[in-house]
Amino acid sequence: MARGANTRLMVFSCALLLLAGAFFSVPERVSASEDIRRQINEKNDEIKRLEADAKRYQAEIVESEKSANTLQGQIRIIDQTIRRLDAEIKVTDAKIVRATLEIRALGTEIGETEDAIAVDRVRLAALVRELAERDQEPPLATFMKYDSLSAFFTVLDELAAVQGELHRVIVDLRVSRAELADQKGRTEAKRAELAELARDLADQKSIQAGERKARATLLAETRNQEKRYQQLLADAKKKREALETEIEALEATLRATFDRSLLPKAGDGVLGWPLPEPIVVTQNFGNTEFARGGAYGGKGHNGADFRAANGTAVFAAERGTVRAAGDTDLGCRRVSYGKWILIDHPNNLSTLYAHLSLAKVSAGDTVNRGTLIAYSGATGYATGPHLHFTVFAREAVEVIDYRSKVCGTIMKLPISPNSGYLNPLDYL
């Protein structure tokens, strides 16, 4: 009897010590958690303000595009784009700080859960020891030690209470371990988010640097004179039309050798949209109004154009392999696709993404539907930032190194017989 009483006293004392330790550590930990939560809320408010700034700058860009055919109008658009990108960079910076704080908050939660598990383990060990000591004595001997049935049944009630507490501790341990696994999983997800934000930040800074370079180049070429700018536009248009005539003549000599029956049937969802919502088509495929106005050498528009502010994420429309990527501006500026990517897909289609500001994949890379492959821009011949998206019959398109008579230089670009160009909207 005395030994059982001593054991209960020991368990009770341990429990008091553990509870006391937990009680005195709570205010400091809660204070730290509240401070982190306050900082997270402040970052959320800052992100909302910066995102509103970025939207305002983009609205100003759309308004300024009405006067983009003047030098000052174009410079204004570039400056507004730089400011918008700066706001987006600050948004990403704030998100990085927020993710770091959230990881710290999860670290605090993990510490609390691990402490709770440690407490439960001590409680569990003490209860198991007490039950083990009671089990060492045969039931009859235990019964004979008591002067009355009332005393005996009191001890039995105490034993049942210990067993009940043991069950509760085991349940608490299971719950705490599940919480710990969930917290660690969320921490890993936040760390992955943090790494992705760091990559986004580097990309945004690179795109902004490209805009600053474009501004400096434009001012150097025009010497900040409207007349020189208009001459620059006229020369670019003349070269583009001459190059289109060359390419059209070259593609007219190609023979379509692909089996059209192997192409997927037209239908929604064969390909995914290459841009985030909302999707706005600014020019359709084929004999569009712009094409009827004399563009594309009378051949029609070989893809679809989508509205996309400079730096908008561009996604792979389907899983596949990057066949090639290039930049026609390296060979002949302002006359063709600019930066482009061509991806081959298992469904016998190939997709082209053009006028990009930054490419994120290279030839040979494998991608999935929705993989970030680039950011939209206005490289090559583009009257403003947008995404040009072409769909080919995979066996009809080839990538060549073409020496342009217009520029006298070599540029790499995809070509296809006219029948190899397919209407993207038939598959999106």
Burial of 139 (0-12, 13-18, 19+ CB in 10 A): exposed
The C-alpha atoms of residue 89 and residue 79 are separated, in whole angstroms, by 15
Question: Can you give the pLDDT at residue 221?
Answer: 93
Low-confidence stretches of the chain (pLDDT < 70) are 1-32, 130-163, 288-299
Query: 């359709």: which residue's tokens?
Result: 284
Q: What is the pLDDT of residue 121?
A: 83
Q: Which CATH number fits domain 264-426: 2.70.70.10, 3.30.70.360, 2.40.50.1040, 3.40.1210.10?
A: 2.70.70.10
CATH 2.70.70.10 in the chain is located at 264-426
Whether the pTM exceeds 0.95: the reply is no
Give the pLDDT of residue 294. Answer: 57
The two structure tokens encoding residue 172: 């608490």
Per-residue model confidence (pLDDT) at position 24: 42
Closest to 105 measured CA to CA, from 34, 14, 5, 185: 34
